[in-house]
Amino acid sequence: MKAKDMRDKLPNEYYYGVFCMIDVAKGYNPMLEEIIQRDEANDIAWDKGIELYDNFLESKYNTDDKSEIDCMEEYIINLNQQNET
């Protein structure tokens, strides 16, 4: 499901997904600005979480063959690896 469709049709699930993405992304790699820092202000973390979650929903990592949290972790790991090169 596209991010906008999910926000419109399933707002509770969407915002829970944003919350989970923030938790998964927090401190994954403190050297990367687009990954949420452990001490990030909540409003900034929330904005970054929305952007990360929207991009995740549109990505190849958003699959139905494993839990959404596992998919998010793979997405963040891949994002991290892309930015290291």
Q: The whole model's pTM is what?
A: 0.84
In degrees to the nearest 10, what's the CA dihedral of 2, 24, 16, 14? -10
Alpha-carbon distance 27 to 36, whole Å? 6
CB 63 within 8 A of CB 71: yes
Phi, psi of 58 (to 5 degrees): -90, -5
Alpha-carbon distance 6 to 14, whole Å? 6
72 or 35, higher pLDDT: 72
Expressed as residue numbers, the domain containing 53 is 3-84
Overall domain count for the chain: 1
Question: Measuring CA to CA, which residue among 23, 56, 15 is closest to residue 40?
Answer: 23
pLDDT (tens digit per residue) in 42-85 = 999 999 999 999 999 999 999 999 999 999 999 998 887 776 65
